[in-house]
Amino acid sequence: LLGADGRVAPTIFTEMTALATSTGALNLGQGFPDDPGPHEVLDAAREAIAAGRNQYPPLPGIPSLRTAIAAHQARFYGLDIDPDTEIQVTMGATEAMAASLLALVEPGQEVVTIDPFYDAYAAVIALAGGVQVPAPLDLTHGADGHPNGFSLDVAALREAVSDNTRAIIVNTPHNPTGTMLGRADLEQILAVAKEQGAYVITDEVYEHLTFAGPHIPMATLPGAKGTVVSISSAGKTFSVTGWKIGWITAAPELITAIQAVKQFLTFAGGGPFQVGVAAGLGLGGEVFDAVRSSLQDRRDLLVSGLRSAGFDVIVPDAGYFTVADAAPLGFEDGAQLCREMPERIGVAAVPVSAFTSAGGPNAARMRSLVRFAHCKSADSIGQAVDRLQKLH
Ligand code: PMP
Ligand code: GLN
């Protein structure tokens, strides 16, 4: 996990944010929003601090948050979850993933990730002594030959799974591509996992930021119980990425195993933020809709701006990011472009190659793709779009 120089290697997000800061560029790299989040959520945390709720919360999470998570899963997805035995609150989705993998994966066992994948998965699989096996997403093309979407390659997924597969990580809505897996895809993944006796660990942090119909949690499929470990977090839904309040829902025996690990990772944390998130999860549908529709407007602004700048744009169905192909502008190496852009035109972004397995098919197929964050203010996106016109 160390860089070649023996120091902690920064993530691509830290690296591009540092470059944006040192050059004064607009940061469309790291995925954090400019908007402050619903005031009810912020007020509830502020009040909890003022009321002295600043000591260790219980290991599984404060009861009001677990009740709110169970009610949220029932309200949005029709799921019936026991707040006492089937929920573990975590320090973000990141700790949720770490605790789940450390609990369930034995050294030498394989974990399949859909490629491109969020960087933390590879690191935590390595910490667990597991072996990461990529299952590449396909890049689809329209009749004009331009890329227009991503799709799950079920044959590639089957090929990636072996007798030694312990878990499949499924991130939907997906970072970096904004792809939402449909019911048929999820059913096939669950079937493959069950045939093999493997777990499915989901990452659903963008569950509410959807522009193409509702998110489908894997846990809603028949037969999911006991196989699926579901992970989400509040950072994206309520625009509070620094709070790091996440949660895991799973069958009681899986929660118990994960809790045994989580107890010694951090025990518990974020007491007053847990109170804020509990308030947020209980807010009316209009609050969730407002976050989504404001984000969708900014996605549309960025998509049309990238198109006018000459990129081929793959319109995302969800999430914080828009992926665009820089090849039509003559840039075949997205990583090189991302290193140059802050200085040259004052815009930072992240190459999709940072999410692909080195040497895997998508490292080559997705080499010219760049990820731009549309979770920034309309003003920042507008200015970035003006600057991007100078890439011609
Ligand atoms: N999973 C995905 C797919 C993400 O994009 C992110 C960060 N934005 C995380 C997990 C991390 O979530 P958290 O901040 O709740 O740890
Ligand atoms: N998840 C955020 C992104 O994809 C970044 C989180 C981080 O900085 N590690 O941009």
Mean pLDDT taken over the chain: 96
The Cα 115–Cα 201 span in angstroms is 15
The Cα 25–Cα 175 span in angstroms is 23
CA of 293 to the centre of ligand 1 (A): 21
Q: pTM for this one?
A: 0.97
Average pLDDT over residues 348-363: 94
| ipTM of this complex prediction, to 2 decimal places | 0.97
Q: Specify the pairing of strand 347-348 against strand 26-27.
A: parallel
Average pLDDT over residues 191-207: 98
Q: What CATH number has the domain bearing residue 132?
A: 3.40.640.10
Q: What is the pLDDT of residue 4?
A: 76
Same structural domain, 178 and 236? yes
Instruction: Let me know if residue 4 belongs to a domain.
Output: no
**DSSP-assigned letters across all residues of 69-81:** HHHHHHHHH----
213 contacts: CB under 8 Å, gap ≥ 6? 180
Give the residue carrying structure tokens 């860089």. 3
Instruction: Quick: pLDDT tens for 39-61.
Output: 999 999 999 999 999 999 999 99
Nearest protein CA to atom 7 of ligand 1, as residue: 31
Bridge partners, 165 (sequence order): 110
Domain coverage including residue 154: 40-284
Rg over alpha carbons for the chain, rounded to the nearest Å, is 20
Q: Which of 233, 249, 284 is the last residue of a domain?
A: 284
Q: Is the pLDDT of residue 334 over 80?
A: yes
Minimal CA–CA distance to 247: which of 266, 228, 233, 267?
233
For the CA atoms of 34, 38, 41, 44, the dihedral, rounded to the nearest 10 degrees, stands at 110
What percentage of residues in the chain have a pLDDT greater than 90?
94
Atom of ligand 2 nearest to the CA of 29: 10
Average pLDDT over residues 120-142: 96
Same structural domain, 160 and 295? no
CA of 51 to the centre of ligand 2 (A): 32
Atom of ligand 1 nearest to the CA of 236: 8
Average pLDDT over residues 247-252: 98
Q: What CATH number has the domain bearing residue 371?
A: 3.90.1150.10
Q: Which of 284, 307, 342 is the last residue of a domain?
A: 284
Q: Is the pLDDT of residue 1 over 90?
A: no
Same structural domain, 344 and 367? yes
Same structural domain, 196 and 242? yes
CA 33 to centroid of chain Cα atoms: 14
Nearest protein CA to atom 7 of ligand 2, as residue: 13
pLDDT tier at 223 (50, 70, 90 boundaries)? Answer: very high
Q: Is the pLDDT of residue 100 over 90?
A: yes
Instruction: Let me know if residue 1 belongs to a domain.
Output: no
Instruction: Let me know if residue 303 belongs to a domain.
Output: yes
Q: Which of 265, 284, 303 is the last residue of a domain?
A: 284
Bridge partners, 139 (sequence order): 150
Ligand 1: lining residues by beta carbon, under 6 Å: 31, 92-94, 118, 171, 175, 203, 205, 233, 235, 241, 244, 246
What percentage of residues in the chain have a pLDDT greater than 70?
100
Same structural domain, 226 and 354? no
Average pLDDT over residues 281-298: 97
Q: Is the pLDDT of residue 295 over 80?
A: yes
Instruction: Let me know if residue 7 belongs to a domain.
Output: no
CA of 93 to the centre of ligand 1 (A): 6
